[in-house]
Chain A
Amino acid sequence: MPSYKLSYFNLRGFAEVSRLIFAAAGEKYEDVRYERDQWPAHKDEMPLGQMPVLEVDGVKLPQSAAIARFLAKQFHLAGKDNFEQAQVDAVVDTIYDLLKAFIPSRREQDEAKKEELTKKFFGEELPKHLQNLETLGKLYGNGGHFFVGNQLTWADLLFQNFAETFVGMNADCLNNFPWLQKNRAEVEKQPRIAEYLKNRPKTEI
């Protein structure tokens, strides 16, 4: 049994999908959370000076998507064969495309410009990517509610995490996307996920 240690900030952010994978799988790990002021002392310990980092039996792995995919494969939440795993990866990449569209509005310092970018994101960018995600769910989901092959995979967990953030900022943003709403509801109903969501630290992002 390998030992797992996940290091990140005290946020959901890019690490939460991995925490959701551990929770869905019922697997133990050390959930290290650094506050902003603690982080500088640990930066040099990390391969790329960034987090999240997963340590597996003492070997460090950076890059949040590589970490999540590894854990998903370890715990059979990645898709049942090569091609299903590829379909899961395609959904995941489409969710990350959505995040890339979101980040500029978060990084903008000027308040007026930030509001402009945020409005454009929720009005134009987000719907386009959500439409793409529904397309993939209907293409690969075998008629069910999960993105790929009628089973929970980390694509569903990744979507749940960022859907929660977006709905927190704009309550109506999923209203035109019933398939995605149903997908999110199915994920949050899974007993281990429901338990985890109830008890985890509450953070804004």
Chain B
Amino acid sequence: MSTYKLYYFNVRGRGEVARLIFAAADQKYEDIRYEREEWVSHKSEMPLGQMPVLEYNGVKLPQSAAINRFLANQFHLAGKDNFDQAKVDAVVDTINDMISKYRPIRMEQDEAKQKELTKTFLADELPKHLQNLEGLGKLYGSGGSFFVGNNLTWADLYFYDIAQHILELDENIFNSYPWLKENRQQVEKQPKIAEYLKNRPKTSH
């Protein structure tokens, strides 16, 4: 029996996709959440001094994307063969491209500046990334609502999670992107996901 321990902060952030994968797979794991003050004393235990970290049968693995892909592969949520898995990876990387433009804006301390940057992001950056994602869903989705091959994969879970941050900027954003809207609805209808979303800790981000 393999053992899984996930170490992260008590937020969704870069740890939530792993938690969604465990939930979708109905897989038990230890969901370790460090508050900021606790983290200081554990930092040197982690290979790169960062979290999330997955401990699998006692061996530590850093880097959220590597963790997520590993778990997806373990629980058959990664794509049915090498090429489908590559399509899933391409969707994930495209989601990353989108969110990497948003993260600096979240870090901006000056409120006025942050408002300005957010406005520019919504007008100039976000549309092209969402169009790219719809494009990939239509190219690889075999006519269905999931990103790749008519099955739930971690690409759908990742988009679901990231989209929550985007919705906080504009709650109507997906009205202009019907394919993405339907994709999210299909994800949250999955019984194990619905259950998890209902019961998980509510955190600020």
List A residues at the B interface (Cβ < 8 Å): 47-48, 56, 59-63, 65-67, 69-70, 73-74, 82-83, 85-87, 89-90, 92-94, 100, 132, 135-136, 139
Given contacts A66-B93, A70-B82, A90-B61, 17 further A-B pairs with CB under 8 A are A47-B90, A47-B136, A48-B132, A48-B135, A61-B83, A63-B90, A65-B93, A66-B90, A70-B83, A70-B86, A73-B85, A82-B70, A82-B73, A82-B74, A85-B70, A85-B73, A100-B100
Is B62 interfacial (CB 8 A cutoff)?
Answer: yes
Would you give the 0/1 interface string for B38-77, flagging 1 where the beta carbon is closer than 8 Å to chain A?
0000000001100000001001111101110110011000
Is B94 interfacial (CB 8 A cutoff)?
Answer: yes
Chain A residues near B87 (CB-CB < 8 A): 61, 66
Q: A87-B61, A93-B65 are in contact. Are A62 and B83 (CB under 8 A)?
A: no
Q: Please pick, from A62, A73, A87, the residue contacting B82 in the complex, using a CB distance under 8 A.
A: A73
Tell me the nearest residue of chain B to A64, going by C-beta. B93
Question: How many of chain B's residues touch chain A, expressed as a range?
Answer: 20 to 34
- Between A and B, how many residue pairs show CB distances below 8 Å? 86
Q: A83-B56, A94-B63 are in contact. Are A65 and B48 (CB under 8 A)?
A: no
Tell me the nearest residue of chain B to A53, going by C-beta. B90
Tell me the nearest residue of chain A to B62, going by C-beta. A90
Q: How far is the CA of A93 from the CA of B59 in the complex (A)?
A: 18
Whole-angstrom distance between the Cβ of B21 and the nearest chain A Cβ: 13
User: Do the beta carbons of B83 and A59 come within 8 Å of each other?
Assistant: yes
Q: Please pick, from B56, B67, B70, B89, the residue contacting A69 in the complex, using a CB distance under 8 A.
A: B89
Whole-angstrom distance between the Cβ of A93 and the nearest chain B Cβ: 4
User: Do the beta carbons of A135 and B47 come within 8 Å of each other?
Assistant: yes
